[in-house]
Amino acid sequence: MVATYAQRLSRRGHEVIVAGGPEPLPSWKRRARMWIESFIEGMPPPHFQAYPPSPFDELQGVRVIRVPHPGPFEDRDLPDADIVIATWWETAEWVARLAPSKGAKVYFIQGKESTIDGMPSERVEATLRLPLFPITVSEFLLEHLKRTHGRSEAVLVPNPVDLIRFNAPPRGKARRPTLSCVYTRGARIKGFDIAIAAIFELRRALSDLQVLCFGFDPPPRGQLPSFFEFFCNPPIQHIVGIYASSDLHLHTSRVEGFGLPILEAMACGTPVVATPAGAAPELLRSGGGILARAFSPFDVAQAAYQVLTLPGGEWRELSRLAWKRARRHSIEDATSSFEEALLQALSWSRSAGV
């Protein structure tokens, strides 16, 4: 999302600068342990780069600054600007300490980062009270900012989806029941364990169920059942094909800031069954899928079974609703909303004297 907005704002005539520091490299002992673990699991050895490839590498018209140290960033690291945006709780602490010449201070909040394993929750939550103008992406985050931290000025800008890339023509159901899901290695908050348990539950009723699974890291040898077809780090056009070949997409996060795969699947006309995390309740409120009642494999399987066993005509109507719902989240509309929020931040900063 940061790269998307940087590119789009640049095209609208704004001067956009993205600043980032190097990735902290693990110790040699830790690297050796990771290499051994990857060998045992039959996975490619990890590569360590201070500046790994990122979505910012190919941006046109956006200046990228590689700060030579990992942080915190200071005034000397950044040029003067009209607006400076923090995109993570640690950078929010850094931005709060910058001089006024660096611009009106904005906090782009894409998730409840205090719930991520290993994060210092109290310190993370404290950043939400810093004198930075808050822009967030989902209704539950907006509610958290207002009710818990009294941030009545907070603005909601829901995440968009690329409706040109993520699109598929109307279709009927697949010849055999087919669902897609995203594999996330070692991230409990993403709930892949819920998805796989729900899929086993489904297989009891739908023995010919086909599962199309993709992810950015290959799973350890033997972790996925034999009836899973796994695609490692596929290009976007392949991901679109996976969505468009599926009767249903499963999204089973325990914690989520938004949940962009929900919109991606819906934009391809694929109904979604999702757990009640992130923006799932608001995205599925007006159709296009089913919101599971709880974070349990049984509830997810029950909702998925409803979708997979719909008669062809009813499924096509659900697919049409999903496609139509995604059309409310175009990149151009979201960029306009984000641009307007930044103008509000300038006004708020002047009136608040920060």
Q: What is the structure's pLDDT at 267?
A: 98
Least confident of 33-37, 112-116, 271-275: 33-37
If asked whether residues 184 and 312 sit together in one domain, one would say: yes
Q: What is the mean pLDDT of the chain?
A: 93
Q: What is the structure's pLDDT at 53?
A: 79
Count up the domains in the chain and report the number: 2
* Residues 261, 21: Cα–Cα separation, whole Å: 28
If asked whether residues 10 and 54 sit together in one domain, one would say: yes
Across the range 77-93, mean pLDDT stands at 97
Across the range 74-90, mean pLDDT stands at 97
Q: Above 90 in pLDDT, residue 289?
A: yes
Q: What is the structure's pLDDT at 30?
A: 81
Across the range 205-211, mean pLDDT stands at 96
Structural domain boundaries enclosing 208: 178-326
Whichever domain contains 188, its CATH number is 3.40.50.2000
For residue 93, the SS3 value is helix
Count of other CB atoms within 10 angstroms of residue 258 = 24
- The verdict on residue 167 lying in a domain is no
Token pair belonging to 29: 């002992």
Q: What is the structure's pLDDT at 31?
A: 77
Q: Are 50 and 70 a contacting pair, CB within 8 Å?
A: no
If asked whether residues 118 and 202 sit together in one domain, one would say: no
- The verdict on residue 303 lying in a domain is yes
If asked whether residues 56 and 188 sit together in one domain, one would say: no
Across the range 208-212, mean pLDDT stands at 96
DSSP 114-175: GGSTTS-HHHHHHHTTSSSEEEESSHHHHHHHHHHH--TT-EE------TTTS--------S
Across the range 193-205, mean pLDDT stands at 96
Query: Under the phi-then-psi rule, with left for phi > 0, alpha for psi from -120 to 50, and beta for the rest, what region is 287?
Result: left
- The verdict on residue 171 lying in a domain is no
If asked whether residues 36 and 76 sit together in one domain, one would say: yes
If asked whether residues 22 and 38 sit together in one domain, one would say: yes
- The verdict on residue 6 lying in a domain is yes
Across the range 202-208, mean pLDDT stands at 96
Nearest to 141 by CA among 123, 105, 115: 115
Residue whose token pair is 């030579």: 68
Across the range 189-214, mean pLDDT stands at 96
Q: What is the structure's pLDDT at 11?
A: 96
Q: What is the structure's pLDDT at 172?
A: 96
Cα dist from 268 to 181, 251, 265, 320, 330, whole Å: 14, 15, 5, 10, 14
Read off φ and ψ for residue 352, nearest 5 degrees: -85, -10
Q: Above 90 in pLDDT, residue 29?
A: no
If asked whether residues 321 and 336 sit together in one domain, one would say: no
- The verdict on residue 199 lying in a domain is yes
If asked whether residues 99 and 31 sit together in one domain, one would say: yes
- The verdict on residue 170 lying in a domain is no
59-81 burial: b if 16+ Cβ within 10 Å, else e: beebeeeebeeeeebeeebbeee
Which residues 6+ apart lie within 8 Å of 191 measured at CB? 252, 253, 254, 275, 277, 295
If asked whether residues 10 and 139 sit together in one domain, one would say: yes
Whichever domain contains 95, its CATH number is 3.40.50
If asked whether residues 342 and 267 sit together in one domain, one would say: no
If asked whether residues 184 and 278 sit together in one domain, one would say: yes
Q: Above 80 in pLDDT, residue 79?
A: yes
- The verdict on residue 168 lying in a domain is no
Q: What is the structure's pLDDT at 46?
A: 77
Q: What is the structure's pLDDT at 117?
A: 83
What's the pTM value of the predicted model, to 2 decimals? 0.90
Q: Are 240 and 209 a contacting pair, CB within 8 Å?
A: no
* Residues 266, 250: Cα–Cα separation, whole Å: 11
* Residues 208, 223: Cα–Cα separation, whole Å: 20
Across the range 89-113, mean pLDDT stands at 97
pLDDT band at 337 (very low <50, low <70, confident <90, very high): very high
pLDDT band at 15 (very low <50, low <70, confident <90, very high): very high
Q: Above 90 in pLDDT, residue 252?
A: yes
Token pair belonging to 325: 């719902």
* Residues 342, 270: Cα–Cα separation, whole Å: 34
Query: pLDDT tens for residues 215-230?
Result: 988 888 788 998 999 9
If asked whether residues 186 and 108 sit together in one domain, one would say: no
Q: What is the structure's pLDDT at 136?
A: 98
- The verdict on residue 169 lying in a domain is no
Q: Above 90 in pLDDT, residue 89?
A: yes
Q: Which helix (H) or strand (E) holds 84?
A: strand 83-86
